[in-house]
Amino acid sequence: MTKEVSIVIVNYNVKDFLLTCITSFEKFHKGKLEYEIIVVDNASTDGSKEALKSAFPEILIIANANNRGFPSANNQGFAIARGKYIFMLNPDTEFMDDSVFKLYSYCEAQVEAMIVAPKLLNTDKTFQQSVWRYPNLRTIFCETHYLNFLLNHKNYKDKSFDVPFEAESFSGAAIFFRKDILEMIGDLDETMFWIEDVEFCYRAHKAGLKLMYYPQAQIIHHIGQSAKKNYTVSLSNQVFNKIKFFRKHYNKIRWFLVICLSFYHCLFKLIVFSILSPFSPVFFKKAKAYLYTIPRVFNPPVGIE
């Protein structure tokens, strides 16, 4: 039976956030939408699957035997989704109202809007940056040196975040799109991780599709819960996949410059976090992650490490 919306959630050892996410979603959306929820579990060991089956027996669960990564797991969910629209959603999100119904209604009224993203809020309900222009050499340099105040253009500071506007890319924590665009541009690129959302939006943009930021729908995002469990995976893949993004979509000169900048980025971060490591185990873990990443910068892994 066809649904109006398929909610696809990839879970990895964030059971409590996952249960809160689904509970809050159903609180505001039951009776308003014909929906299905598909949870793809990447071999969690925290009892997520058992808790989910107990609390929500009607939910579809794909239980992977190993961690297939975020893009591959999402693609598994997309493949069985029966909705006219797919809502790619992180498990560390929480609903305050019927925001998915708002996204659905907006797309039904604005038929040219093919990908739509809500406004994301931090845990304390302050604004969370979740919409960006595409990365370039300047943004990588500024991010390395904590010069984010120079990234106003990348972060759309020329726009009001209280009104809808056409944008280039969104956070994969919450992206609402028409399912039929998958036939036009393909699924998420499974060779990428931590930039698969930007890369997906890039292909949509190049195909001439309209991408809209829609702040009238607001969702809390308790950011980075899975990332905190393994800094080596999260930080290394942020570096590797920027390199792969430029290799796929830009010329060889830009690709080479990104490799050089990425090497410098890792070396700089390694020095900073090594100095700070006596003050916190988090800094030590981050230093260790960059030490792992440096020798692989010039030959990033094809898949996800």
Q: What's the confidence (pLDDT) of residue 148? A: 83
User: Do the Cβ atoms of 265 and 212 come closer than 8 Å?
Assistant: no
Q: What's the confidence (pLDDT) of residue 150? A: 87
Q: What's the confidence (pLDDT) of residue 226? A: 56
CA–CA dist 279, 258 (Å, integer): 31
Beta bridge partner(s), residue 8: 38, 88
Q: What's the confidence (pLDDT) of residue 123? A: 96
Q: What's the confidence (pLDDT) of residue 168? A: 98
Walking along the chain (305 residues) 10 residues at a time, the average pLDDT comes out as 94 95 97 97 95 96 94 97 98 98 98 98 97 92 86 94 98 97 97 92 98 98 70 87 95 95 95 95 94 94 70
| Cβ partners under 8 Å of residue 230, min gap 6 | none
Q: What's the confidence (pLDDT) of residue 143? A: 86
Q: List the domain boundaries for the chain.
A: 3-221, 230-296
Taking the domain 3-221, which CATH number applies? 3.90.550.10
| Closest residue by Cα to residue 212 from 119, 129, 98, 121 | 119
Q: What's the confidence (pLDDT) of residue 258? A: 95
Q: What are the percentages of helix, strand and coil residues in the chain, rounded to 5?
A: 45, 20, 35
User: Do the Cβ atoms of 234 and 261 come closer than 8 Å?
Assistant: no
